[in-house]
Chains A and B, each alone.
Chain A
C-alpha cells in the first residue's frame, strides 16, 4: 500500500524534464531555486559594480572610471542589491521552505507564484537593458527629484528606474499575497499560530510590510512618470508641486523596506541558532512579537532619512523617538539569540559561524544606527561615508551574512549533498575580515568629511589610506564569495550525501527526503509541538509507511486548515503546470517596453497578449478529474 501511494503521488505530481516543463512549472521548490539563482546572479553583477567603484576610489585622482559611469555604477549597485538581490533571494528561500516548514504540498497560488518569478526576471532584464543604450539610472537608488525630472535628466534613465520598479512591484506584491494566504490557510493540522516556525513568522511580517509599504513607492513612481512623460506637475514647484513630496513617499516605502530586507534574515537566524545550539530557542513568544513589532514601528521612522531636509522640529522629535524605539525589539531578539547560544551547547559549523558574524556586524551597525536617531549628530554626518559604512553594516551584516548562513544550512536539503566544511570556514573568514576591512575604514573617512557618491578625490585630504584599505578589503570580500561559489559547484556534485536530516533540525523541512519529492510529504504531518521533528519521533521516518494517524491526500491536492488553530477544514485542489503565467508576464514586459519607448503599436500588441493570457488564466474549466480525494484520520 505504502509503495503504491508514493508511486501514485509521484505520478500525479511529477513534472517531466524538458523545455516545456521549464516554462510551465508551478512547483514551489523549482520556483524557489530559480529565485535564488537569478537573485544570486544579480548579486554578482552588483558586486562587480562595487568592485569597479572600489578600484576607482583606491587612489586619489584615479581616472579608471569617469563621473557619468560612476553615477550609473553606484545607482545600479544600490538598485540591484536592494530590489533585485536581497528581497528576491529571501523570497526564494521563503518559496522553497515555507510550504515545507508548514507541511503543505505547495504554495496557495502556484501559478501566481510562477508569474511572480517571471515578472521579477523580466523586470531585472528590463532594468539592465538600460546599459545597452547607455542610459542606465544614475540618480542614486532613491532617484530624488529634481535630479530625476525631465529638466535635469532628459535621457531615458529615470524612466528605466520608474517603469522597472513599477514592474517589479507587481512581482513583490503577488509574492507577498501568496505568502500570507499560504501561511494562514495551508499549515499542517495542529500547527496553531503559536507553533509556527519563527522563519514563517518572519516571512509573514515581511509580507504584511510589503503590502502596506510598496504602494507608496508605486504612487511616487507613477507621479514621477506622469511628470516626465505627460507634463504633470506633482514635483514641479513652479506650478505648485513639491520636491519634498518625493522624499516622503520614497522613504515611507524605503524605511519599511529596510525591515522587509532584514526580517526574513532574522527568521533565518532564528531557524539556525536552536539547531546548532542544540536546544529550543529561548523566548519564542518574544521573538515572534518582536518580529511583528519591528514590522509595525518600521512605518513610523521614515523621516530619519530626511533630518537634514529642513522639516519642523516637532516632526523630527517624533521620528527621532520612534527611531530610538525600534531598537528595542531588535535588542530583544539579540538577547534571545545570545541566551539560546549561552544556554545550549553550540556546535561551531559553517552556518553558525556566519550567524555569529551576523551578530557581531549587526550590533556594530545598530550602534551607529542609534547615533543617527539623534538629530544633531545625523545632521553633521549625513551624506558622508559614515552613512555608507552604517548601512552596509546593517544590510550586509543584517541580511547578507544570514543569507550565506542559509546557503550553507539549506543547500543539503535542496540538493541532497553537504557543503564542504573546510571551504565554508575559509569563505567565512575571508568574508568576515574582508567585510570589516572594507567598511570599518569608511566610518573614519566619513568622520574626516568624505562625502558619499564622489567619483574621485584629491590627495592630501587624509582620506587616501582609508580608501586604499577599503579597496583591499573589498577584494578580499569578493574572494570569499568566490570560494562559496566554488564550494557550491563542487559540493552539489561530489559532496557527502546529506540524508533527510543532516543537522538534526526541529522544523518540518527535515521530516522529508533531501531533496524533497515533488509532493513534499507522503502524508501531511500532524503537528503537536513547536519543534515537531524533535518531539514527534514518528515524523523522522521520512514517510515510507502510512501511520494511520496522519491525513493522507492521494490527489493533486493540499489540505486547507483554519487560520489560528490549524484545524483541518477542506481539501484544496492544486493547479497543474501552465504556460499562462509566463505568457502574462511576457505581455506585461511588452507593455512596459512600449511605455518606455513610447511606441504605441508595441504597447497595443502587448496589451493584447496580456489580456488574452489573463482570460486563459481565468478560463473556467469543466470539472477537473474528480480524483478520489481520501482524507484518512484527520486529527480532531
Chain B
C-alpha cells in the first residue's frame, strides 16, 4: 500500500506540475479568458471537514490495536460521514462553477476539473473502503491481533487528506497569491 501511495502521489505531482507548466506558458492573466479567481467560501468549509476526518480514522486505527471494536465502528462511521459531507459540498461547488466555465471552456477548466475530480474519485474510493471496513467490523472480523486492513485504509485516507492540501494551495490559493 505504501508503494501504491508513492505511485499515486507521483501521479498527483505530475498533474500539479502540468498545471504550473500550462500556467507559466500562458499569458500574464490567470485564470485566462475572463474566468474569475476561484471562490474560497465553500472550500473554507470543505477543507477543515476533510482534514479533521483524519482524526476519527486515526482514532479507529488506534482503538482496534487495543481491541476496542466499538470505538473502531464509531470512528469509521464518523470518518465516513465527514468524507461524504466533503464530497457533497464538492458537488455543490461544481454545480456553481459549471455555470461559469466547464472542462471544455479552455485549458484552465480542463485542469481544474480533472485535478479536483481525480481527487474526488480518490475520496470516493476511500469511502467505499471505509464501508467495507464497517461491514466487516460489524461482523466482528477485526481484533487487536488482526487488523491490518484498518491500518491500510487509514494510511490511504491520510494520504487523500494530505493531497488535498496541495490541491488547495495550487488550484485555489495560488491564483490569488500570484496575480
Q: Which residues of A contact B (CB under 8 A)?
A: 173, 176-177, 180-181, 211-212, 214-216, 218-219, 222-223, 226-227, 230-234, 236, 239-242, 244-245, 248-249, 252, 618, 620
Contact = CB atoms under 8 A, between A and B. Distances in A.
A190 B7 CA distance: 30
A241 B22 contact: yes
Contact of A211 (B10, B15, B21, B132): B10
A233 B101 CA distance: 13
Contacts of B106: 233, 239-240
B3 interface: yes
Nearest to B33: A240
B48 interface: no
A216 B32 contact: no
Interface in B10-45: 10-11, 13-15, 18, 21-22, 25-26, 32-33
Nearest to B23: A240
Given A176-B3, A234-B107, A242-B25, 6 more contacts: A226-B114, A227-B110, A240-B22, A245-B21, A248-B21, A249-B14
Given A230-B104, A233-B104, A241-B22, A211 B111 contact: no
B14 A245 contact: no
Contact of B111 (A177, A231, A234, A249): A234
Nearest to A238: B106
B117 to A, nearest CB: 10
Contact of B104 (A219, A222, A231, A252): A231
Contacts of B178: none
B107 A239 contact: yes
B103 interface: yes
12 contacts: A211-B3, A212-B7, A215-B7, A218-B11, A226-B103, A230-B104, A232-B110, A232-B114, A240-B108, A242-B22, A242-B107, A245-B21
A223 B114 CA distance: 8
Given A240-B108, A620-B141, A252 B4 contact: no
A415 B152 CA distance: 40
Contact of A249 (B18, B32, B103, B104): B18
Which residue of B107, B114, B136, B139 has the most chain A CB atoms within 10 A of its CB atom?
Answer: B107
Interface of B: 3-4, 6-8, 10-11, 13-15, 18, 21-22, 25-26, 32-33, 103-111, 114, 132, 136, 139, 141
Nearest to A231: B104
A25 B86 CA distance: 42
A405 B22 CA distance: 46
A413 B4 CA distance: 33
A223 B32 CA distance: 19
Given A215-B10, A223-B114, A232-B104, A177 B25 contact: no
A166 to B, nearest CB: 12
Contacts of A249: 14, 18
A215 B11 contact: yes
A219 B18 contact: yes
A219 B13 CA distance: 10
A236 B110 CA distance: 11
A252 B14 contact: yes
B7 A245 contact: no
B3 A620 contact: no
Contacts of B8: 215
Given A177-B4, A240-B26, A620-B136, A233 B107 contact: yes
Given A211-B3, A232-B110, A233-B106, A240 B32 contact: yes
Given A219-B11, A241-B110, A242-B25, A180 B104 contact: no
A214 B13 CA distance: 12
Contacts of A620: 136, 139, 141
Given A219-B15, A226-B114, A236 B107 contact: yes
A515 B114 CA distance: 50
B3 A180 contact: yes
Contacts of A618: 132
Contacts of A222: 114
B28 to A, nearest CB: 13
Contact of B110 (A181, A214, A233, A244): A233
B108 A232 contact: no
B83 to A, nearest CB: 19
B18 A223 contact: yes
Nearest to B11: A215
A223 B14 CA distance: 11
Contacts of A230: 103-104
A230 B109 CA distance: 12
Nearest to A173: B7
A245 to B, nearest CB: 6
Contacts of A219: 11, 14-15, 18
A232 B111 CA distance: 9
A212 B32 contact: no
A419 to B, nearest CB: 37
Closest 9 interchain pairs by CB?
A: A215-B11, A240-B107, A232-B110, A239-B106, A215-B10, A241-B107, A231-B104, A219-B14, A233-B107
A337 B123 CA distance: 50
Given A230-B104, A239-B107, A241-B107, A212 B6 contact: yes
A620 B136 CA distance: 8
A252 B13 CA distance: 12
A560 to B, nearest CB: 13
B110 A226 contact: yes
B146 to A, nearest CB: 10
A615 B136 CA distance: 12
Given A223-B114, A231-B104, A216 B4 contact: no
A223 B13 CA distance: 14
A177 B8 CA distance: 12
B21 A242 contact: yes
A83 to B, nearest CB: 17
A571 to B, nearest CB: 15
A222 B136 CA distance: 34
A173 B22 CA distance: 28
Contacts of B105: 239
Contacts of A232: 103-104, 107, 109-110, 114
A459 B8 CA distance: 52
A444 to B, nearest CB: 39
Contact of B7 (A211, A242, A252): A211
Contacts of A181: 3
A175 to B, nearest CB: 12
Contacts of A242: 21-22, 25, 107
Contacts of B13: 215
A181 B152 CA distance: 15
A592 to B, nearest CB: 17
A219 B109 CA distance: 17
Nearest to B111: A234
